[in-house]
Amino acid sequence: MGLVIRTWNLYHGRTRPKTGRTYLERMVRLISIDAPDVVALQEVPLWALGRLERWSGMRAVWAVAVPGLLGPVARFLTDLDPVRMKFAVAGQANALLLNHRFEVADSRTLVLNPEVGRLEWIRGGRQRRVCQAVDLEVDGRALTVANLHATNKASVARVEAGLAADFVAQAARCILSGDFNVPAFAIPEFSPPIEGIDQILARGVRFEREPEPWAPERRHAEGRLLSDHAPVEAEVGWT
């Protein structure tokens, strides 16, 4: 039996093309409805973090990337105008959804660009970016799962992806997933990347099903695509 791993940048629940509605709850339920083993999420608004477990039926572990400015009011304002509302209003986080059969041994976060200050992301400049890592016990064996959201500038993203790989360098069995924001970026000792910027890379374990983006029809909503990213899915051999 393998482990089903997914990653998805939720784009704060927005659609492509953008509309006046958000679909965050629907997106979380969609990505988790068939009880996968691990789901790595990026661009989760802070107001939604406490709802992830209820929506998904999975254990949620998160790491705040951009602190929000307006707290719970941000959800109301975003719903009023999701096209023009800045992400900084609601803040954003990375989150890992985990199957309840796993034991969580440790959870930690690496800030990838600590030089970015609060004033910069408030003004719409660079955003604070993080990589979160969770150490799991799966059938008596250890597995580290990391969730990366790199800066949306390729030259910076390459450095941040390398920092994320160093962050989990001690793990014998590791999955590094997320939005790398640089196409097909290869990291030494990890499995080869796929095309695109959303990746699931493995070290110390093998794929039974190679990473592959979802087909567009799997994320349709009222004639539009949920998020501007497609979920990526893979299955890791385990037994």
| pLDDT tens by residue, 178-237 | 999 999 999 999 999 999 999 999 999 999 999 999 999 999 988 899 999 999 999 999
Q: What percent of the chain has pLDDT over 90?
A: 78
The domain segmentation of the chain, as residue ranges, is 2-237
Max distance between CA atoms of the chain, in angstroms, equals 49
Which tokens sit at 220? 């349709």
Which tokens sit at 39? 């789901």
DSSP code per residue over 160-204: HHHHHHHHTTT-SSEEEEEE-SSTT---TTSPPP-SSSEEEEEES
Specify the pLDDT at position 195: 97
Secondary structure string (H, E, C) spanning 104-151: EEEEEEEECCCCCCHHHHHCCCCCCCEEEEEEEEECCEEEEEEEEECC
In this prediction, residue 98 has a pLDDT band, given cuts at 50, 70 and 90, of: very high
> Whole-model pTM?
0.91
Instruction: State yes or no: pLDDT of 76 exceeds 50.
Output: no
More confident residue, 71 or 140: 140
What average pLDDT does the chain have?
Answer: 90
Specify the pLDDT at position 239: 75
CATH topology for 2-237 is Deoxyribonuclease I; Chain A (3.60.10)
Instruction: Identify the top-confidence range among 12-26, 81-95, 139-153.
Output: 139-153
pLDDT digits (tens, 9 = 90+) for 113-166: 998 876 665 555 678 999 999 999 988 999 999 999 999 999 999 999 999 999
Q: What share of the chain is helix, strand, coil (3-state, %, to 5)?
A: 25, 35, 40
Q: Which residue in 147, 29, 32 sits closest to 93, CA to CA?
A: 147
